[in-house]
Structure 1
Amino acid sequence: MDLALVLAIDVSYSMEIDEQRLQRQGYVAAFLEPALIRAVENGPLGRIAVTYVEWGGSAVQVTPWTLIDGRDTAARYSDLLRRQPIRRIAFTSISNTLAFSRRLFDLVPFQASRRVIDISGDGPNNSGVPAPVARNSTVALGIVIDGLPIMPRMHADTASIPDLDGYYRECVIGGEGAFLVKVTEAGQFAEAILKKLVTEISGLHMSRFQPVERPQPVQYGAGYNCFIGEEMQERMIGR
């Protein structure tokens, strides 16, 4: 296989149900797009494996590892994904999701040249170990982590932060050529998802997405505060 790809999709309660539907529809539609199919077929081997995970404080594998090697298999995967119910899971644990996702690579029934976790989310980690700890452990295994920070609106009761893209860049993504694509309006889901998938499948180095090659060890109080989600959760518990 050219690629084994985990699509890790945020279904925490901070995501509005309409946003969740748009996000799911974006992935369902993407596997029907000629651009995505061309990206698969133009790879050195012309085959990828994909699995879909939904996560909050814990993670669930929604679809098994599935071979995609052209229009027919992509269409069948799109239909399989379309028929799955959308679940909601409390809390936001990027770290648990990365740990869950990297274990899935042990179950891939194919040998893959590249391994990528594509994780979306609308808030910082607030459960489990800090995100950079899981990020560094994942990257150390040769797995690339790309990000899709979702920033369409800020609510007074949300656990999100205004610079979520910065958080993802500094604390979540990592590995050679890692990049993020942010969503600032609900109407951008389909375009952002397709752009991101085509880039990941093609293996393109997209400098305008500010790729990250080597994550730095997490350090409290140095540079970006990668513990912001845990601190927010602690303040909420202490009220």
Structure 2
Amino acid sequence: MSACTVALVLLLDASASILPPEWQLQTQGHAAAFEDIAVHRAIARGEGVAVTALSFSDNTREMVAWRILRDQADAAIFAAALREAPRGFPAGTNLGGALLVAMDRLDAAPCAAEQQVIDLATDGEANAQRAREARARAEERGVRINAIGVGSPRAGAWLREHAVTSGGFAMEAPDWPSFAVAIRRKVTLELAGSP
């Protein structure tokens, strides 16, 4: 198995609180991050990165399968696939379950990663106990969970308290229209291997 710098699982909130226009902004924001020159530079600095995307509500489903990105062309192909990926059925917010699925996906990464990262985006709170249990498992495995909370001023604080690992970070975006700028910065930090 080849080596890579980072194995990254994108977790997108597809719960019922996410309206269709907001879902579009969320997916387009993620896709645009992989079309950004700063992200391309972060990818090119290392041995490549492995990325997959999942959506979650009550259940978690695959949006884009694992791909290894080594250059701008690879990133563009991933971005295009993400723009076209299906949402899945909007329901509740099983954040803890989604984090566990994401860790299982990391076991199937197509390269031996120096770092394993889960990138969580959500607009709300979930079952705190399940989120903390998933975080504890991630910390045992050396998986970093980073998060971005959208909308509620409390979202970032809740994520720091219940979901983000000790080596991770949380960011906030005041609304979905501003999400694209925040997620671009977040993905750049993650692919550069920054805490």
Query: What is the TM-score with the length of structure 1 in the denominator?
Result: 0.77
The reply on whether 1:173 has 2:164 as its aligned counterpart is yes
Aligned-partner SS, 1:173: coil
- The separation in 2 between residues aligned to 1:130 and 1:108, in whole angstroms, is 24
Question: Which residue of structure 2 lines up, in the alignment, with residue 106 of structure 1?
Answer: 107
Question: Which residue of structure 1 lines up, in the alignment, with residue 147 of structure 2?
Answer: 147
Gaps of 5+ in 2: none
Higher RCO, Cα 8 Å, sep 6+: 2
Shift of 1:85: 2.4
Question: Which residue of structure 2 lines up, in the alignment, with residue 236 of structure 1?
Answer: none
Aligned-partner SS, 2:24: helix
Question: Which residue of structure 2 lines up, in the alignment, with residue 200 of structure 1?
Answer: 190
User: Is the contact between residue 143 and residue 175 of structure 1 (CA under 8 Å) also seen in structure 2?
Assistant: no
- The separation in 2 between residues aligned to 1:126 and 1:15, in whole angstroms, is 18
- The separation in 2 between residues aligned to 1:190 and 1:5, in whole angstroms, is 18
Alignment of 1:85-164 (within 5 A): 85-126=86-127, 130-151=130-151, 162-164=153-155
Structure 1 outlier segments of 4+, above 6 Å: none
Shift of 1:186: 2.2
Fraction of identical pairs, as percent: 29
C-alpha distance after superposition, 1:110-141 (max 9, x if no partner): 110000001111111149x5211111111110
Shift of 1:203: 1.6
Question: Which residue of structure 2 lines up, in the alignment, with residue 29 of structure 1?
Answer: 32
Q: Please identify the structure whose Cα radius of gyration is greater.
A: 1
Query: What is the TM-score with the length of structure 2 in the denominator?
Result: 0.93
The reply on whether 1:10 has 2:1 as its aligned counterpart is no
Gaps of 5+ in 1: 153-161, 206-239
C-alpha distance after superposition, 1:41-94 (max 9, x if no partner): 112x2x000000000111011111101000111111111112212333311111
Let me know the Cα RMSD of the aligned residues.
1.4
Aligned-partner SS, 1:15: coil
More helix as a share of residues = 2
